[in-house]
Structure 1
Protein backbone atom coordinates (compact mmCIF):
# COMPACT_ATOMS: atom_id res chain seq x y z
CA UNK A 1 0.00 0.00 0.00
CA UNK A 2 1.28 3.46 -0.79
CA UNK A 3 -0.55 5.21 2.02
CA UNK A 4 -3.62 6.10 -0.03
CA UNK A 5 -6.91 4.81 1.21
CA UNK A 6 -8.79 2.71 -1.28
CA UNK A 7 -12.39 3.66 -1.72
CA UNK A 8 -15.13 1.36 -2.95
CA UNK A 9 -15.96 1.80 -6.61
CA UNK A 10 -18.81 4.20 -7.13
CA UNK A 11 -21.76 2.74 -9.00
CA UNK A 12 -21.53 5.48 -11.64
CA UNK A 13 -17.77 4.96 -12.15
CA UNK A 14 -17.17 1.23 -11.74
CA UNK A 15 -13.85 1.28 -13.61
CA UNK A 16 -12.26 4.25 -11.86
CA UNK A 17 -8.68 3.96 -10.61
CA UNK A 18 -7.03 5.67 -7.68
CA UNK A 19 -3.67 7.34 -8.27
CA UNK A 20 -1.87 4.46 -6.57
CA UNK A 21 -3.68 1.94 -8.75
CA UNK A 22 -2.83 3.96 -11.84
CA UNK A 23 0.87 3.99 -10.88
CA UNK A 24 0.72 0.23 -10.33
CA UNK A 25 -0.81 -0.18 -13.77
CA UNK A 26 1.87 1.98 -15.41
CA UNK A 27 4.60 -0.05 -13.73
CA UNK A 28 2.84 -3.28 -14.72
CA UNK A 29 2.64 -2.12 -18.35
CA UNK A 30 6.36 -1.29 -18.30
CA UNK A 31 7.12 -4.69 -16.76
CA UNK A 32 4.95 -6.46 -19.35
CA UNK A 33 6.77 -4.60 -22.12
CA UNK A 34 10.14 -5.65 -20.73
CA UNK A 35 9.07 -9.30 -20.56
CA UNK A 36 7.75 -9.12 -24.14
CA UNK A 37 10.92 -7.33 -25.27
CA UNK A 38 13.17 -10.01 -23.78
CA UNK A 39 11.11 -12.78 -25.39
CA UNK A 40 11.18 -10.97 -28.74
CA UNK A 41 14.92 -10.40 -28.55
CA UNK A 42 15.55 -14.08 -27.80
CA UNK A 43 13.32 -15.28 -30.65
CA UNK A 44 14.87 -12.77 -33.06
CA UNK A 45 18.38 -13.78 -32.00
CA UNK A 46 17.67 -17.44 -32.58
CA UNK A 47 16.10 -16.74 -35.98
CA UNK A 48 19.05 -14.58 -37.04
CA UNK A 49 21.82 -16.73 -35.62
CA UNK A 50 24.37 -18.44 -37.79
CA UNK A 51 27.20 -17.16 -39.94
CA UNK A 52 28.79 -14.67 -39.45
CA UNK A 53 27.42 -14.21 -35.92
CA UNK A 54 27.95 -17.69 -34.55
CA UNK A 55 25.78 -19.99 -32.47
CA UNK A 56 22.37 -18.89 -31.15
CA UNK A 57 23.62 -18.51 -27.57
CA UNK A 58 26.18 -15.90 -28.63
CA UNK A 59 23.55 -13.99 -30.61
CA UNK A 60 21.06 -14.14 -27.73
CA UNK A 61 23.65 -12.71 -25.32
CA UNK A 62 24.52 -9.96 -27.80
CA UNK A 63 20.87 -8.99 -28.38
CA UNK A 64 20.05 -9.01 -24.67
CA UNK A 65 23.22 -7.15 -23.71
CA UNK A 66 22.24 -4.18 -25.88
CA UNK A 67 18.46 -4.56 -26.22
CA UNK A 68 17.45 -4.81 -22.57
CA UNK A 69 19.23 -1.71 -21.21
CA UNK A 70 18.31 0.46 -24.20
CA UNK A 71 14.76 -0.88 -24.35
CA UNK A 72 14.37 -0.53 -20.59
CA UNK A 73 15.41 3.11 -20.49
CA UNK A 74 13.47 4.10 -23.60
CA UNK A 75 10.32 2.29 -22.48
CA UNK A 76 10.56 3.82 -18.99
CA UNK A 77 10.78 7.30 -20.51
CA UNK A 78 7.88 6.55 -22.85
CA UNK A 79 5.85 5.24 -19.91
CA UNK A 80 6.43 8.49 -18.03
CA UNK A 81 5.65 10.62 -21.09
CA UNK A 82 2.51 8.68 -22.06
CA UNK A 83 1.11 8.37 -18.51
CA UNK A 84 -0.80 11.69 -18.58
CA UNK A 85 -2.55 10.69 -21.81
CA UNK A 86 -3.37 7.24 -20.45
CA UNK A 87 -4.68 8.87 -17.27
CA UNK A 88 -7.09 10.98 -19.36
CA UNK A 89 -8.18 7.85 -21.24
CA UNK A 90 -8.74 6.05 -17.92
CA UNK A 91 -10.85 8.91 -16.59
CA UNK A 92 -12.95 8.97 -19.79
CA UNK A 93 -13.54 5.22 -19.55
CA UNK A 94 -14.32 5.16 -15.81
CA UNK A 95 -18.08 4.90 -16.49
CA UNK A 96 -17.74 2.21 -19.16
CA UNK A 97 -18.38 -1.28 -17.82
CA UNK A 98 -17.68 -3.21 -21.03
CA UNK A 99 -14.23 -4.80 -20.82
CA UNK A 100 -14.03 -5.10 -24.62
CA UNK A 101 -14.18 -1.30 -24.94
CA UNK A 102 -11.31 -0.88 -22.48
CA UNK A 103 -9.18 -3.54 -24.14
CA UNK A 104 -9.81 -2.06 -27.61
CA UNK A 105 -9.03 1.51 -26.57
CA UNK A 106 -5.86 0.62 -24.65
CA UNK A 107 -4.66 -1.71 -27.42
CA UNK A 108 -5.27 0.98 -30.05
CA UNK A 109 -3.42 3.60 -28.01
CA UNK A 110 -0.53 1.19 -27.39
CA UNK A 111 -0.27 0.35 -31.10
CA UNK A 112 -0.36 4.04 -32.02
CA UNK A 113 2.32 4.75 -29.43
CA UNK A 114 4.51 1.99 -30.88
CA UNK A 115 4.15 3.36 -34.42
CA UNK A 116 4.95 6.89 -33.20
CA UNK A 117 8.10 5.59 -31.49
CA UNK A 118 9.27 3.86 -34.65
CA UNK A 119 8.56 7.03 -36.66
CA UNK A 120 10.55 9.16 -34.21
CA UNK A 121 13.46 6.73 -34.33
CA UNK A 122 13.44 6.83 -38.14
CA UNK A 123 13.46 10.63 -38.00
CA UNK A 124 16.30 10.74 -35.46
CA UNK A 125 18.44 8.31 -37.44
CA UNK A 126 17.47 9.83 -40.79
CA UNK A 127 16.34 6.43 -41.93
CA UNK A 128 14.10 5.46 -44.80
CA UNK A 129 10.39 5.34 -43.93
CA UNK A 130 9.50 3.12 -46.89
CA UNK A 131 12.13 0.55 -45.97
CA UNK A 132 11.34 0.65 -42.26
CA UNK A 133 7.59 0.29 -42.65
CA UNK A 134 7.94 -2.52 -45.18
CA UNK A 135 9.72 -4.59 -42.53
CA UNK A 136 8.07 -6.33 -39.57
CA UNK A 137 9.80 -4.00 -37.06
CA UNK A 138 7.15 -1.25 -36.74
CA UNK A 139 4.29 -3.72 -36.67
CA UNK A 140 5.98 -5.89 -34.04
CA UNK A 141 6.71 -2.76 -31.99
CA UNK A 142 3.07 -1.68 -32.26
CA UNK A 143 1.91 -5.15 -31.20
CA UNK A 144 4.32 -5.24 -28.23
CA UNK A 145 3.19 -1.80 -27.05
CA UNK A 146 -0.48 -2.75 -27.44
CA UNK A 147 -0.01 -6.01 -25.53
CA UNK A 148 1.98 -4.27 -22.80
CA UNK A 149 -0.61 -1.56 -22.26
CA UNK A 150 -3.51 -4.02 -22.20
CA UNK A 151 -1.54 -6.31 -19.87
CA UNK A 152 -0.81 -3.47 -17.46
CA UNK A 153 -4.44 -2.43 -17.45
CA UNK A 154 -5.68 -6.01 -17.09
CA UNK A 155 -3.30 -6.83 -14.27
CA UNK A 156 -4.34 -3.69 -12.39
CA UNK A 157 -8.05 -4.38 -12.85
CA UNK A 158 -7.66 -8.00 -11.79
CA UNK A 159 -5.49 -7.13 -8.79
CA UNK A 160 -7.71 -4.35 -7.49
CA UNK A 161 -11.05 -6.01 -8.21
CA UNK A 162 -10.06 -9.25 -6.49
CA UNK A 163 -9.09 -7.49 -3.27
CA UNK A 164 -11.80 -6.17 -0.99
CA UNK A 165 -11.97 -2.37 -0.70
CA UNK A 166 -10.74 -0.94 2.58
Structure 2
Protein backbone atom coordinates (compact mmCIF):
# COMPACT_ATOMS: atom_id res chain seq x y z
CA UNK A 1 0.00 0.00 0.00
CA UNK A 2 1.36 3.41 -0.92
CA UNK A 3 2.21 5.93 1.79
CA UNK A 4 -0.38 8.34 0.38
CA UNK A 5 -3.14 5.70 0.54
CA UNK A 6 -2.10 4.66 4.03
CA UNK A 7 -2.17 8.30 5.16
CA UNK A 8 -5.65 8.76 3.66
CA UNK A 9 -6.92 5.69 5.49
CA UNK A 10 -5.42 6.94 8.77
CA UNK A 11 -7.16 10.28 8.20
CA UNK A 12 -10.52 8.48 7.88
CA UNK A 13 -9.86 6.58 11.12
CA UNK A 14 -8.93 9.85 12.86
CA UNK A 15 -12.09 11.61 11.64
CA UNK A 16 -14.14 8.66 12.89
CA UNK A 17 -12.41 8.86 16.28
CA UNK A 18 -13.22 12.59 16.41
CA UNK A 19 -16.85 11.88 15.59
CA UNK A 20 -17.13 9.27 18.35
CA UNK A 21 -15.35 11.60 20.80
CA UNK A 22 -17.93 14.29 20.01
CA UNK A 23 -20.71 11.80 20.76
CA UNK A 24 -19.05 10.64 24.00
CA UNK A 25 -18.64 14.25 25.15
CA UNK A 26 -22.16 15.28 24.15
CA UNK A 27 -20.62 17.92 21.85
CA UNK A 28 -23.20 18.48 19.12
CA UNK A 29 -21.21 21.39 17.63
CA UNK A 30 -18.20 19.14 16.94
CA UNK A 31 -20.50 16.38 15.66
CA UNK A 32 -22.26 18.77 13.27
CA UNK A 33 -18.92 20.02 11.88
CA UNK A 34 -18.07 16.49 10.74
CA UNK A 35 -21.52 15.36 9.56
CA UNK A 36 -23.59 16.39 6.59
CA UNK A 37 -26.83 18.14 7.63
CA UNK A 38 -28.74 15.61 5.51
CA UNK A 39 -26.94 12.51 6.74
CA UNK A 40 -28.78 9.21 6.66
CA UNK A 41 -28.43 6.42 9.19
CA UNK A 42 -29.77 3.15 10.50
CA UNK A 43 -29.56 3.27 14.29
CA UNK A 44 -31.02 0.95 16.95
CA UNK A 45 -32.88 4.01 18.27
CA UNK A 46 -34.50 4.40 14.82
CA UNK A 47 -36.18 1.01 15.26
CA UNK A 48 -35.06 -0.28 11.86
CA UNK A 49 -36.01 2.86 9.95
CA UNK A 50 -33.76 4.97 7.77
CA UNK A 51 -33.28 8.23 9.67
CA UNK A 52 -32.50 11.39 7.67
CA UNK A 53 -31.06 14.64 8.95
CA UNK A 54 -29.56 15.91 12.18
CA UNK A 55 -32.73 16.50 14.23
CA UNK A 56 -32.97 12.84 15.27
CA UNK A 57 -29.38 12.92 16.53
CA UNK A 58 -29.71 16.36 18.14
CA UNK A 59 -32.50 14.99 20.36
CA UNK A 60 -30.05 12.53 21.97
CA UNK A 61 -27.35 15.18 22.35
CA UNK A 62 -29.80 17.61 23.97
CA UNK A 63 -31.55 15.14 26.25
CA UNK A 64 -29.02 12.48 27.11
CA UNK A 65 -25.43 12.89 26.00
CA UNK A 66 -24.88 16.47 27.16
CA UNK A 67 -26.29 15.62 30.60
CA UNK A 68 -24.12 12.53 31.11
CA UNK A 69 -21.54 13.21 33.81
CA UNK A 70 -20.21 9.65 33.92
CA UNK A 71 -17.08 8.79 31.91
CA UNK A 72 -17.42 7.06 28.55
CA UNK A 73 -14.46 5.45 26.78
CA UNK A 74 -14.65 4.07 23.25
CA UNK A 75 -12.18 1.88 21.41
CA UNK A 76 -12.35 1.32 17.66
CA UNK A 77 -11.40 -2.28 16.87
CA UNK A 78 -10.41 -3.73 13.50
CA UNK A 79 -11.09 -0.65 11.36
CA UNK A 80 -11.29 -1.46 7.65
CA UNK A 81 -11.14 1.56 5.36
CA UNK A 82 -12.08 1.21 1.70
CA UNK A 83 -11.28 4.19 -0.51
CA UNK A 84 -13.98 5.01 -3.05
CA UNK A 85 -12.00 6.93 -5.61
CA UNK A 86 -9.77 9.78 -4.45
CA UNK A 87 -12.31 11.72 -2.42
CA UNK A 88 -14.59 9.25 -0.64
CA UNK A 89 -14.16 6.36 1.76
CA UNK A 90 -16.11 3.76 3.66
CA UNK A 91 -15.01 2.58 7.11
CA UNK A 92 -16.35 -0.46 8.95
CA UNK A 93 -15.28 -1.26 12.51
CA UNK A 94 -16.24 -2.66 15.88
CA UNK A 95 -16.99 0.01 18.49
CA UNK A 96 -16.33 -1.11 22.05
CA UNK A 97 -17.78 1.36 24.55
CA UNK A 98 -17.01 1.31 28.27
CA UNK A 99 -19.30 3.25 30.61
CA UNK A 100 -20.69 3.38 34.13
CA UNK A 101 -24.36 2.35 34.39
CA UNK A 102 -27.02 3.99 36.58
CA UNK A 103 -26.10 1.73 39.51
CA UNK A 104 -22.45 2.80 39.28
CA UNK A 105 -21.21 -0.47 37.78
CA UNK A 106 -18.71 -0.47 34.91
CA UNK A 107 -20.19 -1.95 31.74
CA UNK A 108 -19.24 -2.47 28.13
CA UNK A 109 -21.25 -2.57 24.93
CA UNK A 110 -20.23 -3.52 21.43
CA UNK A 111 -21.62 -2.31 18.12
CA UNK A 112 -20.70 -2.78 14.49
CA UNK A 113 -20.59 0.49 12.59
CA UNK A 114 -20.16 1.47 8.95
CA UNK A 115 -19.70 5.06 7.82
CA UNK A 116 -19.20 6.65 4.40
CA UNK A 117 -17.30 9.92 4.01
CA UNK A 118 -16.87 12.29 1.06
CA UNK A 119 -14.55 15.28 0.94
CA UNK A 120 -16.14 18.71 0.72
CA UNK A 121 -13.87 19.68 -2.17
CA UNK A 122 -15.05 16.75 -4.31
CA UNK A 123 -18.67 17.33 -3.37
CA UNK A 124 -18.38 20.97 -4.44
CA UNK A 125 -16.68 20.07 -7.74
CA UNK A 126 -19.15 17.31 -8.59
CA UNK A 127 -22.13 19.58 -8.01
CA UNK A 128 -20.86 22.55 -9.98
CA UNK A 129 -21.15 24.98 -7.09
CA UNK A 130 -24.79 24.28 -6.20
CA UNK A 131 -24.06 22.62 -2.87
CA UNK A 132 -26.27 24.94 -0.83
CA UNK A 133 -29.22 24.53 -3.20
CA UNK A 134 -29.03 20.73 -2.95
CA UNK A 135 -28.88 20.60 0.85
CA UNK A 136 -32.30 20.06 2.32
CA UNK A 137 -33.96 19.41 -1.05
CA UNK A 138 -35.82 16.27 -2.01
CA UNK A 139 -32.81 15.25 -4.09
CA UNK A 140 -31.08 13.44 -1.21
CA UNK A 141 -28.79 10.46 -1.38
CA UNK A 142 -30.36 7.05 -1.92
CA UNK A 143 -29.30 4.17 0.26
CA UNK A 144 -30.25 0.54 -0.14
CA UNK A 145 -29.89 -1.84 2.77
CA UNK A 146 -29.87 -5.61 2.30
CA UNK A 147 -30.25 -7.31 5.65
CA UNK A 148 -29.16 -10.92 5.74
CA UNK A 149 -30.76 -13.69 7.81
CA UNK A 150 -28.17 -13.28 10.57
CA UNK A 151 -29.22 -9.71 11.23
CA UNK A 152 -26.06 -8.20 9.70
CA UNK A 153 -26.37 -5.56 7.02
CA UNK A 154 -24.55 -4.63 3.84
CA UNK A 155 -24.93 -1.08 2.71
CA UNK A 156 -24.92 -0.01 -0.89
CA UNK A 157 -24.50 3.69 -1.49
CA UNK A 158 -26.14 4.48 -4.83
CA UNK A 159 -24.97 8.06 -5.04
CA UNK A 160 -23.46 10.86 -3.02
CA UNK A 161 -25.11 14.22 -2.47
CA UNK A 162 -24.21 16.76 0.16
CA UNK A 163 -21.12 17.35 2.23
CA UNK A 164 -19.77 19.20 5.20
CA UNK A 165 -16.46 20.73 6.23
CA UNK A 166 -13.66 18.28 5.42
CA UNK A 167 -15.83 15.18 5.25
CA UNK A 168 -19.27 13.95 6.12
CA UNK A 169 -20.87 10.85 7.51
CA UNK A 170 -23.40 10.02 4.84
CA UNK A 171 -24.33 6.64 6.21
CA UNK A 172 -24.06 5.29 9.68
CA UNK A 173 -25.05 1.75 10.49
CA UNK A 174 -24.90 0.67 14.09
CA UNK A 175 -26.00 -2.63 15.54
CA UNK A 176 -25.49 -2.95 19.28
CA UNK A 177 -24.77 -5.91 21.51
CA UNK A 178 -25.05 -5.21 25.23
Larger radius of gyration: 1
Shared fold (TM-score, shorter chain, > 0.5): no
**Structure with the larger helix share:** 1
**TM-score normalized by structure 1?**
0.31
Compare relative contact order (CA 8 Å, sep 6+) and give the higher one, 1 or 2.
1
- Which structure shows the higher strand fraction? 2
